[in-house]
């Protein structure tokens, strides 16, 4: 557990008007996966969030910020225990997390029942976008299906008719395959579901190769993705079965997969070379601070801090009036590193999505935006959301 704190008390002011309920401090719990085979994703998210905190001078919305960072260890049961501690003992006003959707599904109900604002810098499970939506939940990433939808549309545009899909057997894996199929008019001839955290894909590679598909769609984040790409190339499949992915080819995996990933495509709402001023500042500052290229996971967590700062500032530090605070979050009054960004009714983003490619840039291999695939794209579940304001 790590704690960031500041020591300068700041009066909260809303456009020059003092607010009776203004706090002097905001308590923020940050839950990420910081150990195990997927720790690199949590590291990127933590570094992105902390970069914004440094730029804000340790404050959020003008308030001193007590930030408690905890590792969920990719263990939903343990995550619930840690969330209850954040609520009961750390008295958090805002929760930023999580990385994995199975963890989010476990901690979601305790948080919203406690009327804690939840800002997800990554996980976007379809139930939370739809029937289980809550006014207390906001995403600065995407709804899980959406990056996979990019790849479904891309595969369709290339004329592929027979696809094998591979993903871990949990909420995000199910969502990714559903998203791919939504925009792919051909046939997904096989859905290969693996154990979450699996690193040996020898049997799965046979299941991919045997039906001789036109291409593979893969969702395999973190070290799982690294091992899948390595074993895929070692088996010679890269030459015969094009590799399409979501959350398998990104800046968390590319340093490890290296040249084996160059030319592989993925779907994303962001790339380090998106041409806008906020993104140029972010990428430059991140690389200078940490010495490595940021991923979308770092970008999403950085934007999460910007969102929290903007909302608290708009209400002048009043953390008690939840309706007013939620309205401030809904405005999304910050300059996103991805460009266009606004919230839909279910508090999932409406944003642009891109086909990105792994390329060599100088000494690094990073993702680069090839083309915009969706403009102002909404998720498929918003119509199922019965949002009710507090």
Q: Positive or negative, the Cα torsion across 172, 174, 180, 183?
A: negative
Helices (H), the chain: 39-55, 76-88, 101-113, 126-129, 145-157, 171-182, 202-209, 222-234, 254-257, 277-290, 296-314, 322-331
Transcribe 244-262 into DSSP letters: EEESSSSTTTHHHHGGGGT
What are the backbone dihedrals phi and psi of residue 334, each rounded to the nearest 5 degrees, phi first? Answer: -145, 165
Tell me the pLDDT of the chain (390 aa) as tens digits: 444 443 333 333 333 444 445 789 999 999 999 999 999 999 999 999 999 999 999 999 999 999 999 999 999 999 999 999 999 999 999 999 999 999 999 999 999 999 999 999 999 999 999 999 999 999 999 999 999 999 999 999 999 999 999 999 999 999 999 999 999 999 999 999 999 999 999 999 999 999 999 999 999 999 999 999 999 999 999 889 999 999 999 999 999 999 999 999 999 999 999 999 999 999 999 999 999 999 999 999 999 999 999 999 999 999 999 999 999 999 999 999 999 999 999 999 999 999 999 999 998 999 999 999 999 999 999 999 999 888
Among candidate residues 206, 354, 366, the one with its CA nearest the CA of residue 298: 366
Strands 13-14 and 187-194, sheet pairing: unpaired
What is the per-residue pLDDT for 5? 41
Measured CA to CA in angstroms, residue 116 lies from 31, 41, 75 at distances of 14, 24, 21
Residue of 283, 269, 276 whose CA lies nearest to 122: 269
Residues in the chain: 390
Cβ pair 94, 119 in contact under 8 A: yes
Domains and CATH numbers, the chain: 2-142+274-351 (3.40.50.2300), 145-268 (3.40.50.2300)
Q: What is the pLDDT of residue 21?
A: 55
What local confidence, expressed as pLDDT, does residue 10 receive?
34
User: Does the model's pTM come out above 0.85?
Assistant: yes
210, with CB counted inside 10 A (0-12, 13-18, 19+), is: exposed
């Amino acid at each position: 557990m790590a704690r960031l704190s500041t020591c300068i008390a700041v009066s909260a002011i809303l456009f020059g008007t003092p607010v009776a309920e203004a706090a002097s401090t905001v308590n923020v719990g940050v839950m990420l996966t910081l150990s195990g085979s997927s720790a690199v994703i949590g590291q990127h998210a933590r570094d992105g969030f902390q970069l914004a905190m440094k730029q804000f001078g340790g404050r959020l919305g003008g308030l001193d910020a007590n930030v408690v960072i905890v590792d969920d260890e990719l263990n939903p049961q343990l995550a619930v225990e840690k969330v209850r501690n954040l609520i009961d003992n750390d008295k958090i006003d805002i929760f930023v997390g999580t990385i994995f959707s199975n963890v989010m599904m476990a901690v979601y109900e305790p948080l919203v029942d406690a009327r804690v604002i939840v800002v997800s810098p990554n996980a976007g499970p379809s139930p939370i976008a739809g029937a289980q939506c809550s006014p207390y939940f906001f995403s600065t990433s995407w709804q899980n299906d959406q990056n996979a939808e990019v790849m479904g549309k891309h595969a369709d545009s290339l004329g592929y008719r027979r696809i094998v899909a591979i993903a871990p057997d949990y909420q995000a894996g199910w969502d990714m395959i559903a998203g791919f199929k939504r925009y792919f008019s051909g046939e997904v001839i096989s859905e290969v579901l693996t154990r979450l955290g699996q690193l040996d894909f020898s049997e799965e590679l046979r299941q991919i190769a045997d039906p001789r598909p036109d291409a593979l769609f893969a969702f395999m984040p973190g070290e799982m993705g690294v091992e899948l790409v390595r074993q895929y190339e070692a088996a010679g499949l890269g030459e015969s079965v094009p590799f399409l992915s979501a959350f398998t080819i990104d800046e968390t995996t590319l340093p490890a997969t290296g040249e084996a990933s160059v030319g592989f495509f993925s779907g994303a709402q962001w790339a380090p070379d998106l041409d806008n001023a906020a993104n140029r500042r972010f990428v430059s500052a991140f690389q200078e601070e940490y010495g490595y290229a940021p991923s979308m996971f770092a970008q999403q967590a950085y934007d999460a801090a910007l969102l929290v700062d903007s909302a608290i500032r708009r209400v002048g530090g009043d953390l008690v009036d939840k309706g007013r605070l939620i309205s401030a979050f809904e405005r999304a009054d910050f300059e996103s590193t991805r460009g266009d960004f606004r919230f839909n009714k279910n508090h999932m983003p409406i944003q642009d999505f891109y086909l990105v490619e792994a390329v060599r840039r100088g000494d690094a291999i990073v993702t680069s935006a090839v083309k915009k695939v969706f403009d102002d794209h909404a998720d498929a579940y918003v119509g199922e959301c019965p949002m009710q304001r507090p």
